[in-house]
Amino acid sequence: MKEKEYATDYTLTELMIVCAAKQVRDGDIVFIGTGLPFLACALAKKTHAPNLVPCSEEGQIDANPLLWRTPRSIGDLAMTAGAMMATDLLGVMHRLTYGEFDLGFISGAQVDKYGNVNSTVIGDYKKPKVRFPGSGGANAISSYTKRHVLIFVHRKHQFVDKVDYITSPGYLSGPGGREAAGLPSGTGPVAVITTLGTLSFDEETKEMYLDAVHPNVKVVDVKNNTTWDLKIAKKVKETEPPSKEEIRMIREDLDPFGIYLKRDEFQKKAIEFLTSK
């Protein structure tokens, strides 16, 4: 068996894509969006999970957008390429609420130790300091998928003891919280992939704990960027670096134009192109 060759020139975004891809199991039915979750699922399908079924909020089921190009948004027509079925928003959300999805990915402005996510307001709801777009499909994803993964920039003002508003439920107040609220038993967040490492959830307390740190990150760095007394695994792992082949696939097959890998650069070029006309 050929020894795995690790990449040395990967970016943090690419590392997070690989970490997110590892949360996908072969055969999973996955509720995907564009951006990092799309790239993670596409990578998983090309590597260890060839039988995963990606489904988009717009209604495309088991599509392969890369037959055309990297999709720029959830409404991009490329999302329909190669689809086994093209339904609509209502059809996909109906399937979601009936528990047909194994996995989903969400993010937000704040997250707390029980994995509750806020993407609605900072401050008082009626007189907020900042108002965000809100749930979109995130509440349904966190409520009804069998498991979901959170993706966050790990900063102190985002990892808070209590979110200002629960847009998307994690384990709410702890053990039994989801069931008491009428959510399906056995569901909830399973991991938080951040710019500093990966956090998991204790099966008994439902509280988040640090499971792995990325290369060159120390445990104290994670604790210093978390407002509550973050629990630490007995043996904190170090994130395995991406392989050379994983990085090649991400750069050459999944996002060759850098739509997500080089978002700022891509947007600048797009603006220059549009304004030159």
Which of 155, 137, 148, 194 has the alpha carbon at shortest distance from 171? 148
SS3 call for 262: coil
Q: Using CA atoms, how far apart are residues 31 and 44, in angstroms rounded to an integer?
A: 14
CB crowding 2-41: b at 16 or more within 10 Å, else e: eeeeebeebeebbbbbbbbbbbbeeebbbbbbbbbbbbbb
Q: What's the start-to-end Cα distance of the chain, in Å?
A: 54
| DSSP 8-state class, residue 79 | G
Catalytic residues, which ones? Answer: 57
Please, where are the H alpha helices in the chain? 12-21, 36-46, 89-97, 138-144, 177-180, 219-224, 244-248, 263-275
CA distance 74 to 56: 7
Which tokens go with 262?
């080089």
Distance CA 167, CA 174 (A): 16
CB 146 within 8 A of CB 102: yes
Nearest to 189 by CA among 92, 89, 94, 108: 108
